[in-house]
Amino acid sequence: MSIHGDIKRVTTHTLQSMKDHGEKISMLTAYDFSMAKIFDDAGIDVLLVGDSASNVMAGHETTLPITLDQMIYHAQSVIRACDRCLVIVDLPFGSYQGNSKEALNSSIRIMKESGAHGIKLEGGEEVCESIKRIVGAGVPVMGHLGLTPQSIYKFGTYSVRAKQEEEAEILMHNAKLLEDAGCFSIVLEKIPAALGGEVAAALKIPIIGIGAGMHVDGQVLVMHDMLGITKNFSPRFLRRYLNLYDEITTATKSYIKDIKDKDFPNEKEQY
Q: How many residues bind ligand KIV (CB under 6 A)?
A: 12
Which is the catalytic residue, given 23, 122, 179, 189?
189
Q: Choose, by CB under 6 A, the member of 23, 40, 51, 217 that binds ligand KIV.
A: 51
> Alpha helix (H) ranges present in 84-222?
100-114, 128-136, 152-155, 165-181, 193-202
Binding flag, residue 150, ligand KIV (CB under 6 A): no
Least CB distance from residue 33 to ligand KIV, whole Å?
Answer: 18
Site for ligand KIV in 22-41 (CB under 6 A): 29
Binding flag, residue 148, ligand KIV (CB under 6 A): no
Distance CA 17, CA 208 (A): 14
Least CB distance from residue 49 to ligand KIV, whole Å?
Answer: 8
Least CB distance from residue 54 to ligand KIV, whole Å?
Answer: 8
Least CB distance from residue 186 to ligand KIV, whole Å?
Answer: 11
50 vs 206, which CB is nearer to ligand KIV? 50
Pick the stretch among 50-58, 152-160, 193-201, 242-250 that binds ligand KIV (CB under 6 A).
Answer: 50-58
Q: HSE on the CB side for 134, CA within 13 Å?
A: 34
> Which residues, at least 6 apart from 270, have a Cβ–Cβ distance to it below 8 Å?
none
Pick the stretch among 34-42, 44-52, 155-163, 172-180 that binds ligand KIV (CB under 6 A).
Answer: 44-52
Site for ligand KIV in 186-225 (CB under 6 A): 187, 189, 210, 220, 222
H helix or E strand, kind and range, residue 27: strand 25-29
219, 229, 159, 227: which is closest to 185 by C-alpha? 219
Distance CA 162, CA 212 (A): 11
> Which residues, at least 6 apart from 163, have a Cβ–Cβ distance to it below 8 Å?
191, 192
> Which residues, at least 6 apart from 68, have a Cβ–Cβ distance to it below 8 Å?
91, 92, 95, 106, 109, 110
Site for ligand KIV in 74-103 (CB under 6 A): 90
Site for ligand KIV in 227-256 (CB under 6 A): none
H helix or E strand, kind and range, residue 75: helix 68-79
Pick the stretch among 15-23, 35-43, 49-57, 100-108 that binds ligand KIV (CB under 6 A).
Answer: 49-57
Active site residue 129: no
Alpha-carbon distances, residue 224 vs 41, 173, 206, 269 (angstroms): 18, 32, 24, 32
Catalytic positions are: 189
Site residues for ligand KIV per CB under 6 A:
29, 48, 50-52, 90, 144, 187, 189, 210, 220, 222
